[in-house]
Homo-oligomer: A and B are copies of this chain.
């Protein structure tokens, strides 16, 4: 056994440790935030006389150069640099010599990484917010075309009441509105600057944390340095916000998958957003929607990972916290591409109005309207009304028609108190339009909801 094994240990201890410890393979994503943070820091140090003007100028110049090098692909990331902070510091020192090392005065890697990561999370929370707004606009455009398109409202995947397709889309618009609000709320709450907290206790240098906070676009500096270098709440928040976003995306995806089945055929994905089969030209696999549904598992995993990592950690920084980034990067990038592809899928979706409306004729969706009529207009007690309705539904089944298609004479055979004024109430469209309460499915009320969202979008 040991021989079999010995082959595995070819790398040296330090190579192995580098591979295990180094975060540069993933934290290089933070290069932009790291350079932004360093420029703010150098600016403040110079303003406060901790760094000479000329040193600060050289340092900022070098940081700008490094940024260009990274973005042009020239920059070489080395595992031995361990993390992005060291990689950039090494490089500016290579460019401008020992002056470069002065940049690290009055800060430590602990507050630096907290600043970079927080800037990343704030920026991504904002860009995801904007993607959500764009998705809502696309949904709104589609909704405006379908305020009169009947679709069976379902509970338990069983037909329940007639609604309209715009109304259905507005449910998702409402969910995504909350996702937007959650992201914005997190941005506001976490708009505090860690820079200057140093290792865990602050610094004896005469720094100005309000100034770096301002330069970095934060509302104010954090309150307590020990907390600041130990805190990853902002990372947990974006992970949760994305998990909740995917609850909604996965529900939408599930509906799109079911609606794409042969049995439903309510919608058809464009060729660009589904995959076909060369041999069965009519077959379209809703791969995109299935992946969107599945991504929910992935982002939930990332959330539970960080919650588990942070549980029970003593203050302040522990190396465990290096496990904070990969999950956040993965959830963010999953959300970015998923919102993009969901938006595009909706933009190019074919809505099969005929199939939707035809489906409303299955399941006697206006049975409750008949019962309501009996109570309201014939003054029949509730229980009896239910019984009569049951008989009417049974009769419709015998006739192999939907209750919305039954003739007056049939109804009157069941109960002679029923009159001609019942018929309009049994129509699917009338039924849908009768639900005029706030938030209801009537076309007019649906249009109110659209207006509400439009006003809200304009107000942003």
Contact = CB atoms under 8 A, between A and B. Distances in A.
A435 B203 contact: yes
A34 to B, nearest CB: 20
How many of these chains are in the complex?
4
A253 interface: yes
Contact of A312 (B205, B251, B322): B251
Contacts of A157: 257-258, 260-261, 286, 314, 318
Given A221-B439, A279-B368, A286 B156 contact: yes
Nearest to A241: B240
A224 B272 CA distance: 32
Task: Please list the 6 inter-chain residue pairs (A to B) with the smallest Cβ-Cβ separation, ordered nearest first.
Answer: A202-B440, A301-B305, A297-B308, A294-B320, A290-B319, A301-B301
Interface residues of A, number: 177
Nearest to A202: B440
A142 to B, nearest CB: 15
A168 B226 contact: yes
Given A178-B231, A236-B244, 4 more contacts: A202-B438, A202-B440, A261-B263, A285-B319
Interface string A397-419: 10000000000000000000000
Interface in A93-112: 98, 101, 106, 110
B295 A227 contact: no
A40 interface: no
Interface in A297-338: 297-298, 300-323, 326-327, 337-338
A270 B389 CA distance: 22
A226 to B, nearest CB: 4
A67 interface: no
Nearest to A8: B340
A137 interface: yes
Contact of A283 (B16, B223, B287, B363): B363
Given A223-B170, A285-B319, A344-B13, A204 B279 contact: no
29 contacts: A2-B137, A9-B344, A16-B344, A20-B288, A153-B226, A154-B316, A156-B285, A156-B286, A156-B318, A157-B318, A161-B199, A162-B201, A163-B201, A167-B224, A201-B441, A203-B440, A204-B435, A204-B437, A206-B437, A233-B247, A246-B311, A258-B314, A263-B359, A280-B363, A285-B319, A287-B319, A297-B308, A297-B311, A312-B312
A153 B197 CA distance: 13
Contacts of A223: 170, 174, 177, 439, 449, 452-453
